[in-house]
């Protein structure tokens, strides 16, 4: 039987001592962000999710969602759990008060979101996608669309989806063929088929609001010819009541490796008849720009799922390692046995898992904080600076954290040994659920290309050079910390220097031949994530040291923070530094042989 304890102590540490709740409270509109208030939110969310959502995680995986006579049925208990969350107001916390939301900053929503994703990643897809739909409508929709759809999405009366992908297009969204034709009454008729639509159909709510990418007549090919439409499953009458079925058919559900309780649908829009009624969002042919409002938020959320699965995998591996007695310590008497946590190789796995989870958590929450600053800071230049910073971190949060989430889930299986390969242990589900993260919302290879092609050069390289400067900036603090920080200081300095060299190489060689930079994109993203993790853990160690000097009571937790940062610096940072070679090797080895030689 698996276990989960909300990591409240570490979440609070990051929020208070790395992010700084006082910095959030200083932003206009967030004056209510006080320590006691946030503590209460985290406590209540953790309790609700552990009591209501987590017990359904295993049963949902076994039962799965099914299509029966054209109707999608979710696992037993899912509808009640979702509706209880909606009634408690948790679904609305990210959104403006004027639409019935809780007006919480992205940073706090992300902290709560980790627990949502850890306790039930399948069910977490429903509110996650709905949040993306609301964000897009609030940013780009007309007042009429907002009044018709947004409030009911925020309350959880309805849910939302993203409908991008088509079978022939895959990740090349510009190749989509779904068509939209305007009717005499100003609405549009949508015809086409979309695949891989998470929670595309379900029984949790009475209506589902699809945000659909489609082509209008005479639009140019590629992404420039794409528009965005709202297409409800059931038509909505002027008084807000539900009307007729809107010809959105569920063709099939995918049989997936993981998150089996999350129904992933193939949807047919209006293929029988005149088409499904849709409403244009914003301007025609601006669909891709609007959809990226959903995509960027979704990418951070997917990265957060890597943190979540890493945390729950680590917790269970740690618990098992303390219970499972096997073997004797090296050099001990023959009749002495030990829990497996006493063996060095198991300790190495556990410390690696712990350090990686804490590094991921810090990165993703920093990313969220940058988004809050970009949205709410009163100074325009500061908002622009933080937007560039958030844009830089987003592909790293998405790709690096999901890769590590998979790695940590795999290590948890290894700690369990043979039992970890047995479904009843619960460990295979964590790994299976984690594996989609590297594919969702643009594969991790696409994230790496986005990082080097768009995010590094944005603003003349201001974000990456500013981040490198900040990482260099703690050298004096580490030096002042004395011997216990000496290895951390040296190894972080080496890794930042390697990152700076790699960044320069990509900038110079990428201008001459983009394929040279593309060849190093994935190792560069991994280097940036690894070095950033070392930086944030070093900052954590410095904060813990200051608290110890001030006489803080939680000495064991704070000492563990310093030890974890030192482990990361000595054992994991060198792996990031070593990526300088692969990054700067260029494309020659990748294209040295022809496809028919491979």
Active-site residue list: 441
**C-alpha dist (Å) from residue 373 to 102, 296, 363:** 18, 16, 15
Are 149 and 278 a contacting pair, CB within 8 Å?
A: no
157: three-class secondary structure by DSSP? coil
Neighbours of 594 (CB within 10 A): 7
Residue 304: name the closest of 230, 237, 425, 399 by CA: 399
Strand partners, 269: 192, 248
Residue 215: name the closest of 284, 277, 163 by CA: 284
Distance (Å, rounded) from C-alpha 46 to C-alpha 115?
Answer: 7
Distance (Å, rounded) from C-alpha 449 to C-alpha 399?
Answer: 11
Residues 6+ positions from 96 with CB-CB distance below 8 Å: 103, 138
Q: H or E element: which one contains 72? A: strand 71-73
The DSSP bridge pattern shows strands 248-253 and 264-269 to be antiparallel
Q: Can you spell out the DSSP letters for 60-81? A: HHHH--EEETTEEEPPTTHHHH
Are 328 and 334 a contacting pair, CB within 8 Å?
A: yes
- For 514, counting Cβ atoms within 10 Å of its Cβ (0-12 exposed, 13-18 middle, 19+ buried), the class is middle
Residue 187: name the closest of 229, 237, 128, 158 by CA: 229
Residues 6+ positions from 284 with CB-CB distance below 8 Å: 216, 219, 227
237 Cα distance to chain centroid = 35
3-state secondary structure 552-593: CCCHHHHHHHHHHHHHHHHHHHHHHHCCHHHHHCCCCCCCCC
| H-helix segments, 454-569 | 462-472, 475-480, 486-512, 514-519, 521-549, 555-567
Residue 296: name the closest of 212, 185, 159, 396 by CA: 396
Distance (Å, rounded) from C-alpha 209 to C-alpha 139?
Answer: 16
SS3 content of the chain, % helix, strand, coil (to 5): 60, 10, 25
542: three-class secondary structure by DSSP? helix
Strands (DSSP E) found in 321-479: none
Residues in the chain, overall count: 598
194: three-class secondary structure by DSSP? strand
Tell me the longest C-alpha to C-alpha distance in the chain. Answer: 88
Distance (Å, rounded) from C-alpha 263 to C-alpha 201?
Answer: 7
The DSSP bridge pattern shows strands 207-215 and 158-163 to be parallel
Strand partners, 193: 268
Strand partners, 208: 159
Q: H or E element: which one contains 264? A: strand 264-269
235: three-class secondary structure by DSSP? strand
Q: Using alpha carbons only, give the angle 222, 227, 233 rounded to the nearest 5 degrees.
A: 125
């Amino acid at each position: 039987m698996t276990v989960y304890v909300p990591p409240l102590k570490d979440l609070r540490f990051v929020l208070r001592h790395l992010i700084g709740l006082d910095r959030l409270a200083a932003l206009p509109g967030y004056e209510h962000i006080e320590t006691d208030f946030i503590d209460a939110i985290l406590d209540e969310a953790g309790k609700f999710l552990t009591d209501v959502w987590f017990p359904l995680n295993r049963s949902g995986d076994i039962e799965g969602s099914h299509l029966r006579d054209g109707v999608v049925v979710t696992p037993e208990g899912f509808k009640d759990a979702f509706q209880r969350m909606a009634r408690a107001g948790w679904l609305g916390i990210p959104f403006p008060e004027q639409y019935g939301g809780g007006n919480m900053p992205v940073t706090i929503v992300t902290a709560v979101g980790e627990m949502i994703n850890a306790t039930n990643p399948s069910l977490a897809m429903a509110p996650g996608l709905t949040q993306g739909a609301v964000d897009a409508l609030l940013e780009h929709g007309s007042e009429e669309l907002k009044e018709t759809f947004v409030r009911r999405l925020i309350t959880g009366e309805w849910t939302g989806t993203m409908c991008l992908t088509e079978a022939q297009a895959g990740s090349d969204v510009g190749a989509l063929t779904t068509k939209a034709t305007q009717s005499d009454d100003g609405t549009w008729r949508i015809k086409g088929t979309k695949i891989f639509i998470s929670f595309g159909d379900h029984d949790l709510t009475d209506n589902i609001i699809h945000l659909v990418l489609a082509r209008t007549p005479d639009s140019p090919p590629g992404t420039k010819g794409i528009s965005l439409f709202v297409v409800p499953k059931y038509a909505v009458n002027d008084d807000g009541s539900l009307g007729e079925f809107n010809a959105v058919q569920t063709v099939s559900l995918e049989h997936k490796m993981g998150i089996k309780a999350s129904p992933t649908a193939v949807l047919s829009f209006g293929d029988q008849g005149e088409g499904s009624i849709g409403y244009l969002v914003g301007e025609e042919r601006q669909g891709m720009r609007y959809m990226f409002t959903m995509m960027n938020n979704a990418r951070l959320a997917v990265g957060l799922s890597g943190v979540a699965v890493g945390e729950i995998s680590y917790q269970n591996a740690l618990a098992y390692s303390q219970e499972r007695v096997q073997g004797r310590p090296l050099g001990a008497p023959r009749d002495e046995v030990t829990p497996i946590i006493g063996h060095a190789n198991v300790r190495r796995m556990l410390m690696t898992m712990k350090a990686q989870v804490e590094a991921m958590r810090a990165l993703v929450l920093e990313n969220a904080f940058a988004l809050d600053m970009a949205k709410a800071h009163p100074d325009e230049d500061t908002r622009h600076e933080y937007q560039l910073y958030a844009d830089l971190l987003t592909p790293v949060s998405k790709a690096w954290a999901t890769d590590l989430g998979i790695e940590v889930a795999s290590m948890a299986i290894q700690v369990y040994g043979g039992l970890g390969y047995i479904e009843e242990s619960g460990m295979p589900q964590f790994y299976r659920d984690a594996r989609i993260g590297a594919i969702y919302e643009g594969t991790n290879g696409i994230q790496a290309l986005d990082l080097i092609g768009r995010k590094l050069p944005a603003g003349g390289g201001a974000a990456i050079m500013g981040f490198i400067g900040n990482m260099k900036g703690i050298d004096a603090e580490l030096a002042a910390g004395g011997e216990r920080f000496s290895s951390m200081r040296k190894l972080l300095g080496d890794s930042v220097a390697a990152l700076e060299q790699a960044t320069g190489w990509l900038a110079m060689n990428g201008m001459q031949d983009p394929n040279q930079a593309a060849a190093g994109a994935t190792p560069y993203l991994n280097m940036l994530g690894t070095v950033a993790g070392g930086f944030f853990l070093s900052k954590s160690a410095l904060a813990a040291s200051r608290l110890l000097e001030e006489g803080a009571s939680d000495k064991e937790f704070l000492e563990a923070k310093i030890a974890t940062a030192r482990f990361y610096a000595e054992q994991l940072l060198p792996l990031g530094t070593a990526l300088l070679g692969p990054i700067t090797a260029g494309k020659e080895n990748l294209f040295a042989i022809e496809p028919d030689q491979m």
